[in-house]
Amino acid sequence: MRCNGNIDRRVFVKSGALALVSLGLDPIFLTRAAYAVNRAGGPAGRKKTLVCIFQRGAVDGLNMIVPHGDPLYYRERPRIAIPRPGVTGGAVDLDRHFGLHPALSPLAPLYRNGSLAVVHAVGSPDSTRSHFDAQDYMETGTPGVRSTGDGWLNRALRHAQDHADTPFRGVAIGPQLPRALRGSAPALAVENLETFGLAPSRAAIGRRPSAESASAMPTETQRAAIRDRLTAAFEELYQGSATGLVATSSEEGFEAVKMLKTANPARYQPGNGAEYPRSPLGNAMRQIAQLIKADLGTEIAFADVGGWDTHVNQGASDGQLAGRLRDFGLSLAAFAQDLGERMADVVVLTMSEFGRTVAENGNGGTDHGHATSMMVLGGGTRGGKVLGRWPTLDPAKRFEGRDLAVTTDFRDLFGEVLTRHLGAADLSAVFPGYELDRKRWLGVMG
């Protein structure tokens, strides 16, 4: 296999172990090649960063951002509607028409200080109600086109005018690279920063006894020896002795591990008294904050959070959806508190593949809908507003007679954030086939 500058290369990390993968090779043994960075480059310094959070499963935007000023909302949802502001379990009022679900109350101060904006009635123009298709379209940035091979975030990285030569430009926290970050630009998928080339897995050191004796724990010397063996194994794989994979230098591919060792994530302490929820999302946001503060040149970070497909027993102020939103709100609020003044360089963009039906179903839940609500938080955000043209819940104005209509194409929102925060200049390359018109932008960014 010949290596050239156009090969899609990245490090893939799973369960604390390092695995290399390369398109076209055995997917069980190889996943992708490590991205070769400039050996003389080192950490890239402080940059603007976009953090994308995908609420997989289609979040109910009408209960997340409650249209308490629309009486049809209460007529259509007799069991699951969020009460109006001012009563027990009521929405947290935003502008006398919309309010936050009470579980999102940790985000209310961010809205009031102007750093959080909400966009309602946003989504894809494609009419699919399939999770798989809708997520794919949102991540590729090409609604209705199934043949797109790369993601819009990867294209944004590839066409950026000014970027650092670092393997940490695009990072996903999780066991696999999301569709949005796949492509020819460098990107990493990291499940746990603390074990990313820094510490051996349990499999490497053997099964430990259940803390019965301190003497059963490996010494630091033993740990160092194991790390050295893992390092050697990684470099051997990268050099191609076991896989046939060819690269210009194993040192280049291993730069990501060395850079992260310098950052020493195992000793990270959140700033400003921030406390993250002990949940997958809380852990992901904590790790993204670590990467940003380490000044490794991260331009785009990505995190997934599932569990939003609430067909049954969705709940209202309490219940299934409330629990998810509580974790969501606490995680975002802790992230903003942790970064403090660094949030001036960071924007968080939330997204979901579609919304849910206006009317509740017979199982106390909601079914697959169309438009939903998204949030933009952080530096340069013109917050303190609910943006987007509200189509109302009038049955005559619903999509297919049942759903909140889309009045803002998600590409207009994403394009505005890319341009005004990351300085993207060629949106036609990021969203091919779509004519982005700044006149449709909502003014979500200053």
Q: Where are the domains of the chain?
A: 44-200+265-440
pLDDT for 259 equals 76
Positive or negative torsion for Cα 12, 14, 16, 17 = negative
Q: Which CATH number fits domain 44-200+265-440: 3.40.720, 3.30.40, 1.20.1440, 1.10.760?
A: 3.40.720
pLDDT of residue 342: 97
- Collect the ranges in the chain with pLDDT lower than 50: 1-44, 197-217, 234, 236-253
Q: For Cα atoms 192, 197, 202, give the angle at the middle one, nearest 5 degrees.
A: 75
Predicted confidence at residue 404, as pLDDT, reads 98
- Nearest-10 Cα torsion for 125, 126, 127, 128: -140
DSSP 8-state class, residue 403: B
C-alpha span between 436 and 317 (Å, rounded)? 38
- What's the confidence (pLDDT) of residue 250? 38
- Please give the single-letter amino acid code of residue 122: V
350 bridge partner residues: 53
Give the span between the Cα atoms of 408 and 122, in whole angstroms.
5
